[in-house]
Structure 1
Amino acid sequence: MTSVLPGSSTEYQPLLYFHLPWREGHRLRYHRTHMARSKLAVRQTIRRPTSGKLRAILEDVGTPPAAPFVPAAFQEAALVAVRTGDVLVAAPTGSGKTWIAEQAMAELLSRGGRAWYTTPLKALSNQKFHRFSGLYGTESVGLLTGERRINAQAPIIVATTEILRNALYGASTSPELIVLDEAHYLADPERGTAWEEILMLAPRRSRLLLLSATFPNAEVVASWLTELRGTRPEVIVERLRPVPLRYILADGRGRLIPPDALGHLPPGGRAAGWLQALLRDLEHYSLLPVILFYPTRRQCDEAARELASLRAFGPELRAAAMARWEKDYPMLRQHAFRNAVIDAGIAPHHAGHTTAWRLVVEDLLGRGLIRAVCATTTLASGLDVPARTVALSTLVRNSPDGPVPLTPTEFHQMAGRAGRRGKDTIGVVVMPAASREEAREGLALIDAEPEPVLSAFTPGYVQVLNLLRRSSLQEAQHELSRSLAAYERRDEVARLRQAIVSIPPDELVERPCDDRLLTRGRYERMRDRLARMRRRDAHLPEEGIAAAQQEVAGWPCATCPVESRCLATIEALRTREFRRSSLRQALHNVEGTLVDEFERRAAVLRQLGYLDPEYRLTSDGQWAAELRHPRILVLAEAVRRSLIGASTAAWAAVGGAMATERAPRRGGEAGLQPLARLAKELADLERRQALPADPVIVQFEPEWDPVSRRRLPPPADRRADAVVAWMRGADWARLTRESQSEEGDLQRIILQAAEVLMQLEGLPFPDVRAAARDARTRLLRPPVI
């Protein structure tokens, strides 16, 4: 496939960077073989490994002969099935799942139909938007994200998942085809609820195409969809990759070794200079380009700086490609890693860089102009940017709770970036082996089964308002029973009920009392009381003791004909009844979790006046339901109480305060005290309803900085300051420098602020609408967009 660089009408074939090096002293020189295929010279010489077992593993490294594309059997089967019904495709990363959607949408367009293509990431939505625009024409494709609308009436809409969820709640769309890319996000703790809501809300006339990485319980999800939609989806599971993978190790000195060479690992962990040695070895064995995965942004940038000293031939080609991008994105000329790309073919790729930079890296990698990309796991999350080789620097990733081991699914997603269809005969995955333990852990992941997709569904305020907007409380509660979460719990419910039923009843059927435990327990307490009276109350009047004796003598147990048998079995009965009570509590917890949380959130909304006593939406509830944002309560109350005023800067600050990206290290004079007091008040209200407090409250509290050893202003204030400064026309380079923010973080903070403002534009308050529209317009300027 040919493609066009930005700002040019000339087609180019990829430039492949696979060289044969030889060494003279300490200098690395390159043997160059020129093979002219287009206006860019293709330079490729395959070096066969000379070491036994490694040679066998890498024997097939190379480029396959040119051949026309032939779809795989699973792709054809899925395409046939989606013409008439729902389809769930579970296949390895890089196996060509998107091709199914592209063909289905092309057929739909030819008939005048409409489709939505949703992704979990804005970066992935932007990538698909540009690709589909090239395939179907710009007039046929639109893009909807939280802060932007492009060609919103187009027959094919690319959007993030939450945008489609919002459209379905508003009953404003009924497409013939809904494509859910990366459908395993159903299990994502933060995003999974939106995916589940889409499947519950999707009209039955809309056909669903779910594209997912391989997961073991696809049939369970299909059975749920069958019950939910009335027809069973076609389940297509493919385990083979079009480009097979080979796995090798990199020892602590950066040398490539076969997986069974653990006995030859050098002691002492990772040596200095291992990374440059690894790149040289990869180049020696014709295994470039490579994606090097790191757990943190800082490590990515440090690795790119270290590798940038290894210069590569062809800087004029990379400079020409960069120049074309710089025509559209002039800020790229000042990028810190621009020279690393041009001189060495090395680039970092992570969320700390702007979208424009990441697009450049992805484009140049796809064209063979990049030797190595140092990336975080973001590059493994659906983006179609493969390389010949993937190398993992470690087997852990960062989490809010610190480093955690990679899961099998995360590992397979990263490994799946190795091997490019039509460009590579095999893909190679390099596992870290700084120690035998690390090597064994990595090799164990190769055959590890991915985790099952389990529901992460949690009722939120957006869902409560939108369900009660169109149904009664009882109907809304029934809607919860249709969720995958409820479906998954049915087996557990059935098990608990069966366990309760299987507990035998009281075998002492001839007893004179109804409830033996209650009766016997009361009798024992009366006897104990009488014994204490006799022992301690020597001066108690005789009539008091006599009354107690009479109460004991009159209790059924005193004259029970089966008392001896009762005493012999009472402890066993107590054990059984304790188990029965525990099982009933567990059953209540399983059955009632979703409904209980829904009702508690509804109680908060009723107390605030968004629902009336009968759980119907009030006039305030009607407009608040249009705010489909995770911070809906804070936003709605800020509007209703007029906490902010009507200035453009004030609402831009609110948008910035609601952002969730890493806060700048400097700033904090936004004056958000009213918003902070509101957030605390709402958190207290939620605690009284036994709900977890919205984490937004933490964003309004000062933060301790261990680096500078001083207390920083609240993160919300620092984000708001940066957004307001940008809205007022601040210079981008100066703002990133003075706020001490990474460019990518600052870009997403501004985009998230614009997303909030776009929602405020739909409210029935003219002054708020006008200020929000003005602020959003002023925020969305290059390089933010």
Structure 2
Amino acid sequence: MKKDFQDLPKKRFYRAKGRKRGISPGMDPRLRRAFAKIGVPEKTPFVPDPFQLEALDAIDKGDCLVTAPTGSGKTWIAEQAIRRIREAGGRTWYASPLKALTNSIYVIFCGIFGPENVGILTGDRKENPDADIIVGTTEILRNQLYDAMHRGENIRTDFVILDEAHFLGDEERGVVWEEVMIYLPTRIPLLLLSATIGNARRIAAWLSSIRGKPCVVVEEKKRPVPLVPLFFHPSGKLFPLTAVVNGKKRLYGKISEFITGKRQPYIARPGQLPPFGDILAVFRKYRLLPAIFFLKSRADCDNALDRCQKNVISDMNRKAAIGAFIDDFAEQVPHIAKHPQRRHLEHFAVGAHHSGQLPAWKFLVEQLMTQGLLDAVFATSTVAAGVNFPARTIVFLNSDKFNGVEFMPLTPTEFHQMTGRAGRRGMDHIGFAAVLPGRYMDVRLMARLVTAPPADVYSQIKINFSMALNLLLSHTPDQIQLLLEKSFAAYLLEHDSGYRSYRKMGKTAEREAPEKSRLWNDFLDHLDFLKKTGYVSEEGKLTDDGMWASQLRVDHPLSIAEGFRLGVFPENNPAVIAGLMAAFVNERECDDRVLKEVVPNTLKRAFQNVVKGLGPFLKQMADAGFDVRPLYLRPCLSVYLWAAGAHTWEHVVRVSELAEGDMAVLILRTADNLRHIVALREVFPEASKNASKAVESILRDPVAVFF
């Protein structure tokens, strides 16, 4: 061990060939000044920051893109802008990427503007849709724009706010943000709220070029609460992660010596989680709680709770408040009363938060954390996007993040979004981001990310059958070509050499055609297939089948449309309809071999008819180069059993072999698909009626609970 660490007792380390030893609190003297700032600011009247006032001034003149750190007060800008629109007699559409965030904003706006003036549209919820203020998901807004273009009408809003606008660069859903920006009538002012992004002015220049009016960029780079990066040594001693050397922030010298040492101590043995109870004791000594720990997996988040048993709640008043809150909540959602993680909340003030949990349980954890009743939440990185329960300290155990396919190093944008939860405006003078060394931690990368500029956002637009059908509702192919030329992708290809390099290296650069014509060629491929299968005429107009198929704004509209056209879906059984739709929603590989003896014959025959009947069409799609997902029986059976109502939630989850949260998502997405079938009442009245019944049968406790 290097001399700078000689003051650390060796008995406190974990060594590769040693035995487990304890952790004791310690602090490098360089942290005294930062730790002395810890505390709660005095309550003072709210004074807007200059960037907030600048944004409001810009909105009066045209479009505006606000890019600012997480927690800096972007929602206040939206609130004030909505007030001005309402005073002028106008209506507002507030679009967000996540249903949880949408629900949260809805609650906030109901409190500000009154519930009678606010509506919510998320697919799961449709309340007060004629209100002056609509809060909804971006997909719903995009669909309303499709309908308005088809009818030749103006969408019923006078102002649009796109929250989390950096989702424009999201590989899966960024296309929806880009479509909204392209389709939105220029008469409607657009306010975009985003985390810090590198190429905000490029995005604004593109919007100005397609909307014919200026888009003002308002940038705020300063965090509302200063951030101090820490290094948690395996002994329990805290060090600065970085230090200023020759005017630049670099990895603190002692940390550099630590990570290059030949016999590094470590906090936990390979494959084991750290002793979080001891870590929390260190944080408590230096007043660094509450904390959010970002872990690699859901299982780690759940297992971390059992590593906190030393963190016994000593304040009986706080313990009683947690118990009372859970009891009150359980009256609304009885299922959570016996949740296996309840005892961790009540006895150790810690909770887990990840996508494998039920929405109601995640909401409960969020509320307890927001009220200051918990010491720590163990979460996957998804909590950084849109869920608002800031803490005093953010703790990283990994320097990478799972992107759905593989683990990749954190980007500057992801790092800054996660650390945006560190330090609560109005509750903290200062926030902290602690790095724990370990197998999946690149300490040097984390030190670089502290000062790294935000990453650029690139276009993710791509053609799919739903987009093709809906554009053909109101445009000729030639008009669609002009529309695609307005895309952010087309603009970047002309103006940004970095994007051209990105396209060549990325997954989307698969075709040999010139980049400028890629989108158009892709549309032509979809158009050609729609013509061959009778959804579009040779003249490029939707046939009668194409007209109703366009209303299936789901992931696999053509497969479902063909199923109805061939008559392979039984239309008179709500539970069977729900189960079959789940097969199209499912995105996971499943093992169906053990199901043959437990599947009801009614469902088994229906599923076999769909697979057999659609087989030739799906092969035709695959041969034409389009993605075709296999249909599995397990998700079909799971949702069927839930819809039929003869089995408990626990039994259905066991059959599904999914986590509770994943089963809930499967049901909620199935309900989304079913609602689109309900919309086909004029063409398939029986299916529409029973799809409506199916929605009612699957949206019940503990899946669908709204607050």
Sort the TM-score into its range (normalised by shorter chain).
0.7 to 0.9
Deviations 1:323-344 (A, max 9, x none): 2211211111111111110111
What SS does the corresponding residue of 2:442 show, helix, strand or coil?
A: helix
Q: Name the counterpart of 2:63.
A: 86
Aligned to 2:523: 598
**In structure 2, distance between residues paired with 1:472 and 1:435:** 56
Alignment of 1:440-589 (within 5 A): 440-491=444-495, 588-589=513-514
Equivalent pair of 2:555/2:585 in contact (CA under 8 Å): no
Shift of the alpha carbon at 1:264? 4.7
Q: How does 1:21-32 map to 2 (within 5 A)?
A: none
Does structure 2 retain, via aligned residues, the 8 Å contact 1:665–1:741? no
Q: 2:320 aligns with which of 302, 316, 320?
A: 316
* Residues 51-84 of structure 1: per-residue CA shift (max 9 Å, x gap): 4112133221111111111111111111222133
Match of 2:376 in 1: 372
Letter in 1 for 2:481: Q
Give the alignment partner of residue 722 of structure 1, picking from 638, 641, 663: 638
- Structure 2 counterpart of 1:771, which letter? N
Instruction: Kindly report which structure 2 residues correspond to 1:139-288, keeping only aligned pairs within 5 A, or say none.
Output: 139-171=116-148, 173-259=155-241, 260=252, 261-262=254-255, 263-264=257-258, 267-271=264-268, 273-288=274-289
1:229–1:200 CA distance, 2 compared to 1 (3 A):
same
Match of 2:664 in 1: 747
| Inter-partner Cα distance in structure 1 for 2:442 and 2:281 | 22
Equivalent in the alignment of 1:23: none
The 3 A distance-change label for structure 1 pair 495 and 348 is closer
Do the aligned residues in 2 keep the contact of 1:86 with 1:208 (CA within 8 Å)? yes
Map 1:295-444 onto structure 2 (within 5 A). Answer: 295-313=296-314, 314-434=318-438, 438-444=442-448
Q: Which amino acid aligns with 1:686?
A: M
Distance 1:679 1:132 in 2: 46
Q: Which of 629, 642, 655 is equivalent to 2:581?
A: 655
Displacement of 1:108 = 2.2
Q: Tell me by how many angstroms 1:105 deviates.
A: 1.4
Closer, same or farther in 2 for the Cα pair 1:359/1:49, shift >3 Å? same
2:556 to 631, 653, 673: 631
Deviation at residue 293 of structure 1 after TM alignment:
0.5
- SS of residue paired to 2:395: strand
- Are the equivalent residues in 2 in contact too, given 1:143–1:150 (CA < 8 A)? yes
Once residues 577 and 643 of structure 2 are traced to their aligned partners in structure 1, the CA distance between those partners, rounded to angstroms, is 11
1:774 and 2:697 aligned:
no
Alpha-carbon distance between aligned partners in 2 of 1:618 and 1:485, rounded to the nearest angstrom = 30
- Of 104-113 and 49-58, more deviation after overlay is shown by 49-58
Report the RMSD for the aligned CA atoms in angstroms. 2.5
Cα deviation, residue 641, structure 1: 1.0
Normalising by structure 2, we get a TM-score of 0.85
**SS of match in other structure, 2:436:** strand
- 2:247 maps to none
Shift of 1:659: 2.2
After superposition, the Cα gap between the structure-2 partners of 1:425 and 1:682, relative to the gap in structure 1 and judged at 3 Å, is farther
Structure 2 residue identity aligned to 1:105: I
Residue 180 of structure 1 deviates from its aligned partner by 0.6
237-246 vs 57-66, greater mean Cα deviation: 57-66
Distance 1:251 1:493, change over 3 A: closer
Per-residue deviation, 1:150 = 1.5
What runs of 5+ residues in structure 1 fail to find an aligned partner? 1-25, 27-47, 497-584, 701-713
Q: Give the aligned residue type for 1:440.
A: R
Matched, 1:675 2:610: yes
CA distance in 2, matches of 1:166, 1:731: 35
Deviations 1:698-757 (A, max 9, x none): xx2xxxxxxxxxxxxx3xx21121111111113223322444332111111111111001
User: Compared with structure 1, are the counterparts of its residues 418 and 679 closer, same or farther at alpha carbon in structure 2 (3 Å cutoff)?
Assistant: farther
Range with greater deviation from structure 2 (678-687 or 421-430) = 678-687
Could you tell me how far apart the structure 2 residues matched to 1:218 and 1:224 are? 10
Deviation digits for residues 589-619 of structure 1 (CA, Å, limit 9, x no counterpart):
2121001000000111111111011111101
Q: In the alignment, is the contact (CA less than 8 A) between 2:120 and 2:134 conserved in 1?
A: yes
Question: Equivalents in 1 of 2:613, 2:239: separation in Å?
Answer: 59
Q: How big is the shift at 1:305?
A: 2.1
2:394 touches 2:419 (CA, 8 Å); kept in 1?
yes
**Structure with the larger RCO, 1 or 2 (CA within 8 Å, 6+ apart):** 2
Question: Normalising by structure 1, what TM-score?
Answer: 0.77
Aligned to 1:525: none
Cα deviation, residue 49, structure 1? 8.0
Q: Counterparts in 2 of 1:112-151, with a 5 A limit?
A: 112-151=89-128
Distance 1:726 1:441 in 2: 46
CA distance in 2, matches of 1:296, 1:185: 23
Give SS of 1:246's match.
strand
The one-letter code matched in structure 1 to 2:627 is: A
Q: Matched residues in 1 for 2:80 and 2:499: separation?
A: 44
* Per-residue deviation, 1:50: 6.0
Task: State the partner residue of 1:528.
Answer: none
2:675 & 2:289 partners in 1: Cα distance?
44
Tell me which residue corresponds to 1:760. 677
Relative to structure 1, the CA distance from residue 493 to residue 378 in structure 2 (aligned partners, 3 Å threshold; closer, same or farther) is: closer
1:741–1:245 distance in 2 versus 1, CA, 3 Å: same
Aligned partners of 2:662 and 2:499: how far apart in 1?
48
* CA–CA separation in structure 2 for the residues paired with 1:594 and 1:436: 39
Letter in 2 for 1:744: G
The residue matched to 1:720 in structure 2 has which SS? helix
Per-residue CA deviations over 1:311-364 (Å, capped at 9, x if unaligned) read: 112311211121221121111111111111011110000111111111111111
**Is residue 611 of structure 1 aligned with residue 507 of structure 2?**
no
Equivalent position amino acid for 1:307 in 2: C
In the superposition, relative to structure 1, how do residues 761 and 372 fare at CA in structure 2: closer, same or farther (>3 Å)? same
* Bigger-Rg structure (1/2): 1
Contact 1:663 1:718 in 2 (8 A): no
Count the aligned residue pairs: 632
After superposition, the C-alpha distances for 1:220-275 in whole angstroms (9 at most, x for unaligned) are 11111111110011110110111111111112345422222313567143335543
Matches within 5 A, 1:705-720: 714=632, 717-720=633-636
Which stretch shifts more, 472-481 or 367-376?
472-481
Report the secondary structure of 2:95's partner residue.
Answer: strand
Q: Quickly say closer, same or farther: Cα 1:493–1:745, change in 2 above 3 A.
A: closer
Provide the rounded CA distance (Å) in 2 between the counterparts of 1:630 and 1:495: 27
Describe how 1:66-81 pairs up with structure 2 within 5 A.
Answer: 66-81=43-58
Contact 2:559 2:618 in 1 (8 A): no
User: What corresponds to 2:294 in structure 1?
Assistant: 293
Q: 2:267 and 2:330 mapped to 1: Cα distance?
A: 39
Partner of residue 85 from structure 2, selected from 84, 99, 108: 108
Separation (CA, whole Å) in 2 of partners of 1:453 and 1:214: 10
For residues 409 and 93 of structure 1, what CA distance do their matches in structure 2 show?
Answer: 11
Residue in 2 aligned with 1:693?
A: 627
- Aligned residue for 1:433, secondary structure, equals coil
- SS state at 2:538 partner: coil
